[in-house]
Structure formats: structure tokens, C-alpha cells
Amino acid sequence: MSKNKNILPVIFIGMVLVFPGLSSCQVLNRYQRPEIDTSDLYRDSHAGDTTTIADIPWREFFTDTHLIGLIEEGLKHNADLQVAVTGIRQAEANLNMARASYFPTVSLTGQVSNMTTSDANKRLGYNSNNVTLGIAASWELDLWGRLNRQARSKHALFLQSHSYRNLIQSSLIANIATSYFSLLALDEQLQITTETVALLEKNVETMMALKEAGMQNVNEAAVEQSRALMLRTKLSIYDLESAIRQMENAISVMLGRKPGAIERSAFETQTIPGKLQTGVPAQLLARRPDVIQAELDLRSAFELTNAAQASFYPSVTLNAGSMIGFAASGFTNFFSSENLLANVIGGLTQPIFNRGQLKGNLKIAKAQQEAALITFKNTLLRAGQEVSDILFSYQSSAKKNSVRQEQIVSTRKAVEYTKDLLIAGEANYTEVLTAEQNYLSAQLSEVSDKLEQLQYSVNLYRALGGGAE
């Protein structure tokens, strides 16, 4: 009898320690990325060169030291990015719980009981004590890989949380940069407008002097029209100042700080990238965070489908009643070998009556996997569309540069010529006002063109997956 007691603990411990290494026969297939045709994903782009601006670290892609400092601050303190980091911790905890299911659940258990009986005269009769102390375990042998597949799904979601964090980071970097350039452009437009108001004020004085001198083509209406143009232009200064203040506040919040002033450079010091290399569309699969997210979601759904299939197979379990420990009628010599207790309760369960539910679960899992595949393909298509749109918009905006310069030169000359003609009595005041309006508009449009190209370059960098790591 004592010999059997010595054997049982060995069997029990062996099952607990050895079976995890023998589990998971893996009768199911492994995940493989679906074949997706990425050729011509970028419209009108047939480059085979894999060089892409997305490979450039963001600290090298941006050259403005003030902007680099703002981005660094945002990466440390931005609220959305901090929330994304907490999501990683949550996903890691879920993954650890899923992996813990591979191993037995072990707990310390103890019990003390007393049973007494009495005879017909109500006197105490039989008295029995029972003391039990030991380690109990329960465990499911992952013979068909169901638990393993569930853990793989959690691992995919864990990686997905990292991709989401990278998505937030790349978007944050792009948003800080585009907002920064917008702020500089507003500064430039404010300066141009302020200088224009000063010139228009002189024009009003000139009109008044010409009227007083008796110029036939300059009357009171000409003076007031000139004054009205000056005042309307002056009013736009207040709008620009308000926009600057709001942009500073928006950038401050992105940086995780209270609304306040933003240190910055001058707009004229910003240079537009010469050539924006996009690489090949297939690189989006490895670089763009939202595409990676979508594929990891597909991978998670794939693993859950396999887990649902594995549910049809029998399950082998070590039941909760299994334990090793000591049992005696009292505490005297309680831990002696004579009181050793080992109890192993195993089970083999084959689903029969709940196969309808299992089939339903499998259908749901397959439908979710199909939906994830569709979403993955659509995410890649939208990524290609975004790159194509931004690239074409950038190229179109760049074509404006030479034309815009010609426009500025022409409108400036028009202002000079019409003023000379006005003094010579060969032009009226409306021609002068129109020329001045056109010149101001051309100057402001030049700033907008440069801002467009700066922002398009940043957005293309983000769309290709730049700044994600």
C-alpha cells in the first residue's frame, strides 16, 4: 500500500510538468499572408526603385530645429499617444493570460472536519477528526491546439496594439509638422498684409493730394474707394491674428501643454523637398501602420477560426479534484509518509449534443475572418489611393511655382503702371485699386502654394509609413 502511495505522487507531478511539453498536436494550418496584387497601386507611377522617403528617420526628414523640438515634446507628452501605450499594456496582459492557459492551475487547499454521533441517551458517541492539506491542480491538455490558437490570436492583437501606437505616432508627427507650417504661413501672410496696409494708407494720402490738386480723374469717390480698400485689408489683419492664436493653442494641446506661444522659425527659411520617392506599393505592407493593423486583425481572426475548428475534437483534462498532499485524523506526525495522499482525476470529453453551437461558432469565426480579409484588402486600396492623391496634388501644386512668380511680377508692374497713368491722367482710380488687390492676392497665394507643397510632402511621408518608428 505504501508503495502505491509513493508511485501516485510521481504520476501526478509528471502529468503536471511533462504534459505541457507534449500538448498541442497542431493538426491545423498556419497563417499565410493572402496573395494581393500590389502592382499599379500607385496611379501613374511605375517606378521599380524601392527607395522611399518613408525610410528616412523623421529627425532627418525635417530640418527645422524648432519643429524637431516640438515633435520630440509631443512624443513625450501627447495624450492620444499615451492612451495608445496603455492599450499595449492591456493587450500584453491579455496575451499573458492566454499563454497561462497552457499550464495547470495550481492552488493550495486545506480542510479540517469533525464528525460526532450520539447514542439514544443523548450521550456523545463516535468522534472523528479529518485534516487535509495539499496542492490541487486542474488543467486541460491542449492536444488539438485550441488554446494555442487562442493565444496566437491574442499575440496578433498584441502586435496590433503596437501598430496602433505607431499609427498614432506617425499621425501626430504629421499633424505637428503641418500645423507648424500653417502657423509659419499665417505669420508670413500677416506680415504681407501689414505691409500692404501701410502702402494703402500712403495711397489714400496720395489720392487726397491728387484730388486737392484738381486732378479731373480723381474725385471724392476715388479717395473713399481707396480708403475702403485699405480698411478692408486692415480688417483681415485681425482675422489672421486670431487664426495664429488658435493655431498656437492647437499645437500646444498636441504637445500636451497648456495653450500658449509656440517658438518658431520664419516661413521663408523653409525649403520644399526636391524629389519625393515613393518606392513600390508592396512596401506599404511592411511600413504603413493601418495596413499592418488590418493584416494583424485578419491573422487574429484566422487563429480564432482554427480554434473554433479545434473545439470539435475531444478534450483531455486534469479535473479540479486532482491533488497531492497529506490527510490524517489529527496534526500529530501530520507530514509523515504514512499520511501522504495523491489523487489524480482525468477526463476525456467529446462534444456530442452541443455540436450545433460549435458549428454556429465556426460559421461566425469564418464570417469574421472573411470580413477581416475584405477590410485588409480595402485598407491597402485606400492606402494606394491616398498616396496617389497626395503625389498628384503635390506635383500639380509644384507646377504653379513658375506661373505664380510670373503673376507676382505682372501684378506688381500693373500697380506701378496704373499709378503712373493715374498721375498722367490716362487711367482712373478703379484701375489702380484693382491692380493693388490683384497684387496682394498673388502674394498671399504664393504663400499658400508653398504651404501646400510643404504639407503635401509631410502627408506623403506619413502615407508611405514614415515616422511610425
For position 363, what pLDDT does the model report?
93
Q: What angle do CA 332, 336, 339 make, to 5 degrees?
A: 85
Residue 260 has pLDDT above 70, yes or no: yes
List, as one string, the DSSP characters of 111-129.
EEEEEEEE-TTS-EEEEEE
For position 18, what pLDDT does the model report?
46
Q: Is residue 108 part of a domain?
A: no
Q: Is residue 303 part of a domain?
A: yes
Q: Is residue 304 part of a domain?
A: yes
pLDDT confidence band for 163 (50 / 70 / 90): very high
The CATH number of the domain where 81 resides is what? 1.20.1600.10
Q: Is residue 148 part of a domain?
A: yes
Residue 350 has pLDDT above 60, yes or no: no
Mean pLDDT of the region 384-397 = 94
- When divided into structural domains, the chain yields a total of 1
Residue 353 has pLDDT above 60, yes or no: no
Residue 222 has pLDDT above 80, yes or no: yes
Residue 423 has pLDDT above 90, yes or no: no
489529527: which residue's cell? 330
Most confident of 20-29, 94-103, 337-346: 94-103
pLDDT confidence band for 198 (50 / 70 / 90): very high
Q: Is residue 234 part of a domain?
A: yes
254: CB partners within 8 A, 6+ apart: 74, 78, 172, 175, 176, 179
Residue 320 has pLDDT above 90, yes or no: no
pLDDT confidence band for 218 (50 / 70 / 90): confident
Residue 445 has pLDDT above 60, yes or no: yes
For position 22, what pLDDT does the model report?
46
Residue 217 has pLDDT above 70, yes or no: yes
Q: Is residue 23 part of a domain?
A: no
Distance CA 97, CA 92 (A): 9
Q: Give how far Cα 226 sits from Cα of 199, 204, 415, 429, Å.
A: 11, 6, 13, 8
For position 331, what pLDDT does the model report?
62
Least confident of 18-27, 246-255, 408-417, 455-464: 18-27
How is residue 257 annotated by DSSP?
A: S
Torsion-angle region of 28 (φ positive above 0: left; ψ -120 to 50: alpha; else: beta) = beta
Domain that holds residue 449: 31-102+142-313+351-463
Mean pLDDT of the chain: 84
For position 239, what pLDDT does the model report?
98
The C-alpha cell that represents 373 in the structure block: 480579409
Q: What is the pTM of this model?
A: 0.82
Share of the chain above pLDDT 90, in %: 55
Mean pLDDT of the region 32-38 = 89
For position 105, what pLDDT does the model report?
67
Q: Is residue 211 part of a domain?
A: yes
For position 50, what pLDDT does the model report?
82
